[in-house]
Every structure is written in structure tokens, then in C-alpha cells.
Amino acid sequence: MKNLVRKLDSVDFLKMDRRTFMKAVGALGATVFLNTYKTEIVSALELEETKLIWLHGSECTGCSISLLNAGNPDIAQALTKLNVNLAYHETLLAQQGIFVDGKLANTSELNSEILLEELIEEGNYILVVEGSIPNGPNGSGKYLMLGNRTFKEILGAAAKNANAIVAVGACAAYGGITSADSDVAKDTDYRGVAFSKKDSKGGMLQELGIDKPVINIPGCPAHPDWVLLTLGAVILGKINIPEDLPDVLDQYGRPKVFYPPDHTVHENCPRRGFYDRGEFDDQVGGEKCLWKLGCKAPYAHADCAIRKWNGSVSMCTQAGGPCIACVEPDFPDMARPLYVEAEDKGVLLGANIDTISKVAVGAAAVTAGVHAVRRMKGE
């Protein structure tokens, strides 16, 4: 990592092409990246402020909490370095509501509904959406009302005037937990911004007839680095929308640099050695492979095991929790039941886990070594 930082430090940040930039943000955490290039970033942005509107749909606010838990830089430092005006974020707003001290508040300084209307009318902002959008009942969207409007209507108005749209978290990207199969799923009809699970034609924007590209940052919650570095790339013009998106994003709208199509969490899992030797825990609290406890890491395309969480200290499987593949478009249904072995799914070329556990340790070690070398070389 230190050698990579020194190598990138010798490259003129403002002259980086898109490929070099995306490789840099993929390899470095938000802390290292923003601190390494803070002078150049300030120079690039000193004449222009970026406005951010952050909307909350049907969700638990977990992705905002994850972002607030970012360490160094924290969210305030990151917004300052990137010259971002977080103009609207329902969880963090200072506005007091429609009525203040019993009197109707008719100014944007006090009334958040008026503030949002004014910001949308002004345009020239990046729209971040957290949470899914209910289309039900019967296409009305009335399962989520904000004030006297449906969230479906608010999203449509905000999306039309946005310079860029980023869906943060599994719910905003694909529907997530709210869209899980259930007896009421058809009635509530929760959608992602541009996808409904794996369906790229079933998102809420398509339902509203709005043709705009969306960058998906899935996860339950999304990693702070994924959010900050993606927003940084958009703000700094290192991702040109929509021209660059076919090269930058995978088939589900995820930045390939954070969600590699050819790489899974399993490949760099701290418990990978136990998997290669066919050693599995059958109860919580052990130190071996978590496959038999329902780990879905072989199906999860994300850099969690390399980037890690909580200040790059740990991750789900390292802490003893099976991966639930929360970055995948058909989460949570593809992962349910969460903590039960997926006996009907092949891990490698259709082979089940019992077959895999009998593979020679030497061959498995060679394969793991090849993966590690490729990742270190950035291939």
C-alpha cells in the first residue's frame, strides 16, 4: 500500500485519466486519497461549490449512519475538502417543520418542504437517494408520504433536475430488505431508483418515464469509502456522465472498482485458509470457515475483505458473522435463510461444499496465491 501511495503521489492528480483515477480510488481508502490530494482537490474546486440533495425513502437510515461513522476524514471534513454543500438531508436538517411555535412557517429557513422545492427548482445538484420507493398500493405510491406528497412524486421531481443520481444502499439500488418476497410484496411494490432487484427495467425512474443514468452503491449498509470516493469522482469530473458509465459500472450499475465482477469477498476472506483445508465451523464463535453457518461470500462481489470496515480494522467474516451478500441485486432473497448453509448452490463449477473440502490443499493454496498476486498487482 505504501509503495502504491508513493507511486500515485508522483502523478499529477489534475492530469490523471479516468482509468488511473478509478484505480487510485479503488486501491486507496477515502482517508488516504483525500489527504494525499487535498491540495490539488482544493485547487480544482476553489471556484465552484457542489450542491447535494440527499433524499430518504423507505429505509432504516443505516447508510447515513455508516457515512457518519467514517473516521478520518469524517463526513464534515470530506464535504469541506470536496467543497460540497449538503443542502438537504432529512436526518441532518436544521429546519423545525411546517409549524414553529404554533405558527405556520412559510420560509425555507424553517420549512424543509419549501426548502426542497426551492432547491429542486434551482437545479444544478447531485441527487443522492437512500431507501427504496414504494409504488403501491396500485401504483399510487401512497405507502410512503412526506407531507402531502408521495415519495414517488418527490423523487421524480428531484431526478428530473439532477446533474447526477447516486443510489446509496441496497434499498435505493435494488429494493433491498423492503422488497423481499412476502405476502404483501405485490401490494407495497418497493423499487430501487433504477432497478427492481435484477430488473433494469423495473426501477422507479422507468416507472416514472425518466431516462437518466444512476450509479448504484449497494450494501446493507454501504461502506463510507464507496460513497465518498464515488461522489468525489463525480464531483471532480473523473467520471463523465453518461459517457464513462458503460466502462465504469457493471451490469447492475455498480462501480467495478469497488464491486469487481471477477472477484468475490470469499477470495480474500481472512478465513479462506480454513475453507481451503475443508475446516468449517458448525456453531457461532469459532475461528474456521463460516460456510456451514450460511456464509454467502462466494457470491458477493465487493472489496470488503481488502478494504475492511470500521477504520479498516475488521469485516463481517473476520468478526465471526457470515457474509450475507448484501451488495447483490437480489439480496436478501438469494441469501435467505441468512444463517443456513446454501446446500443447493454450487461454489465452484457446480461442485458443492463437501466436494470442495476434499480438493488437495496444495492446489487450493496455489489458486488462492494467484488471486492474491493479481489483486496486489491491481489486475
Residue 295 annotated in active site: yes
Q: Which residues contact 135 (CB under 8 A, 6 or more apart)?
A: 141, 152, 189, 190, 191, 204, 207
Residue 269 annotated in active site: yes
Catalytic residue among 56, 223, 289, 301: 289
Q: How many CB atoms lie within 10 A of CB 354?
A: 10
CA atoms within 13 A on the CB side of 206: 11
Distance CA 193, CA 212 (A): 10
| Angstrom distances, CA of residue 276 to CA of 59, 187, 291, 340, 350 | 38, 45, 12, 20, 17
Catalytic residue among 63, 223, 263, 301: 63
Catalytic residue among 56, 223, 263, 295: 295
Catalytic residue among 56, 220, 223, 301: 220
Distance CA 193, CA 132 (A): 7
Provide the 3-class DSSP secondary structure of residue 176.
Answer: helix
Catalytic residue among 56, 171, 223, 263: 171
Spatial CA neighbour of 302 closest among 217, 188, 377, 362: 217
Residue 301 annotated in active site: no
Q: How many CB atoms lie within 10 A of CB 2?
A: 7
Residue 56 annotated in active site: no
Residue 326 annotated in active site: yes
Q: Which helix H or strand E contains 18, and what residues bound it?
A: helix 18-27
Distance CA 290, CA 292 (A): 6
Residue 223 annotated in active site: no
Catalytic residue among 56, 263, 301, 304: 304
Catalytic residue among 56, 223, 263, 323: 323
Catalytic residue among 56, 223, 301, 326: 326
Residue 171 annotated in active site: yes
C-alpha cell at 293: 453457518
Residue 371 annotated in active site: no
User: What secondary structure does DSSP assign to 320-371, as a single string?
Assistant: TPPP--TTSTTTTGGG-STTS--TTS-SBTTB-HHHHTTS-HHHHHHHHHHH
Q: How many CB atoms lie within 10 A of CB 287?
A: 11
Residue 89 annotated in active site: no
Q: Which helix H or strand E contains 66, and what residues bound it?
A: helix 62-68
Q: Which residues contact 68 (CB under 8 A, 6 or more apart)?
A: 74, 75
Q: Which helix H or strand E contains 274, and what residues bound it?
A: helix 272-276
Catalytic residue among 56, 223, 263, 266: 266
Catalytic residue among 56, 263, 269, 301: 269
Please identify every residue annotated as catalytic.
Answer: 60, 63, 171, 220, 266, 269, 289, 295, 304, 316, 323, 326
